[in-house]
Amino acid sequence: MIAQQYSTGGAHFAFTDRWGGVSAAPYDRLNLGGAVGDDPEAVAANRARAAAALGPTAGPVVWMNQVHGADVAVVTGPWPGGEAAAVDGLVTAVPGVVLAVLTADCTPVLLADPVAGVAGAAHAGRPGLAADVVGATLTAMAELGADPARVVARTGPSVCGRCYEVPAALRDEVEALVPGTAATTTWGTPAIDIPAGVRSQLLARGVREVAASDICTLESADHFSYRRERVTGRLAGYVWTGGDRD
Ligand SMILES: [Zn+2]
């Protein structure tokens, strides 16, 4: 269910694991992705369960139609007509509106400026990292009044740099765009460290507080991993502002 939750000064962050839902294999059990072949009724039930577990400060949850790009949408509540825009970043300045990002190996990036009451969420896989969806999301947050120096950043469970094997040419291509991402797998082949790249992009933009999950989805039986399972569910990361300044 909600496996990791963190609140500071009226900003709230949460990440799910794969347990506590109603989906059957291979989406067992808390699949939150609506475009992976799972029963839509199960997904809706899982989303309702997870939303209830976020607590009283959380309002409506806004999802994205993620396409591995760098476009960002500003939202004030649920999508008109219910159709999510094809974006990989969401920002809002409305307290209680919960921004959600779906992943199964990609890096979910949650951002919030608790002082401005501005939240952002981004989906950073390899293409999104290279296209700087993280920077685009921070820019959109700044346009709503956020200051990067006040932004609290949390990245969630994702495939780690010791597991994300790629061809050497691809590693070099991404390293040229995002220095610090070149890595090596535990079995000695070229790899990319996406969470490290997200961290460096955030620090370069002036974000000071960046904390990463220590969970590797590919190595954890409690998390969905596209690389391990191919047909599988999706985890969610949630971020919102409002409520008590605890
Ligand atoms: Zn790993």
Q: What is the mean pLDDT of residues 220-234?
A: 97
pLDDT of res. 60: 97
Residue where the block lists tokens 């597991």:
163
pLDDT tops 90 at residue 82: no
Q: Could you list which residues have their CB under 5 Å from ion ligand 1?
A: 160, 162-163, 216, 218-219
How far apart (Å, rounded) are the C-alpha atoms in residues 8 and 161? 29
Q: Which two tokens stand for residue 140?
A: 């959109």
Residue 234: which CATH number? 3.60.140.10
Q: Look up the domain containing 123 and give its range.
A: 2-240
pLDDT tops 80 at residue 37: yes
| Structural domain contains residue 245 | no
Q: Which residues, including other chains, have CB under 8 Å from residue 128's CB and lie 6 or more apart?
A: 68, 69, 70, 88, 106, 122, 134
| Structural domain contains residue 147 | yes
Q: pLDDT over 90 for what percent of the chain? A: 98
| Structural domain contains residue 246 | no
Q: What is the mean pLDDT of residues 231-240?
A: 98
| Structural domain contains residue 44 | yes
| Structural domain contains residue 160 | yes
Q: Give yes or no for a contact between 158 and 235, defined as CB atoms under 8 angstroms apart.
A: no
| Structural domain contains residue 206 | yes
Q: How confident is the model at residue 230 (pLDDT cuts 50, 70, 90)?
A: very high
| Structural domain contains residue 217 | yes
Q: Which two tokens stand for residue 160?
A: 């780690």
How far apart (Å, rounded) are the C-alpha atoms in residues 73 and 91? 6
pLDDT tops 80 at residue 246: no
Distance 126 CA to ligand 1 centre (A): 15
Please tell me the total count of domains within the chain: 1
How far apart (Å, rounded) are the C-alpha atoms in residues 245 and 239? 15
Farthest CA pair distance, the chain: 49
Q: pLDDT over 70 for what percent of the chain? A: 99
Q: What is the mean pLDDT of residues 25-42?
A: 97
Q: Which two tokens stand for residue 192?
A: 């990319």
Distance 166 CA to ligand 1 centre (A): 13
| Structural domain contains residue 148 | yes
Distance 161 CA to ligand 1 centre (A): 6
Which stretch of DSSP H or E encloses residue 176?
Answer: helix 168-177
Distance 29 CA to ligand 1 centre (A): 22
Distance 160 CA to ligand 1 centre (A): 4
Q: How confident is the model at residue 150 (pLDDT cuts 50, 70, 90)?
A: very high
The angle subtended at Cα 137 by Cα 165 and Cα 184, nearest 5°, is: 15
pLDDT of res. 244: 62
Beta strands 190-192 and 152-155: pairing type? unpaired
pLDDT of res. 245: 53
Distance 197 CA to ligand 1 centre (A): 15
SS3 135: helix
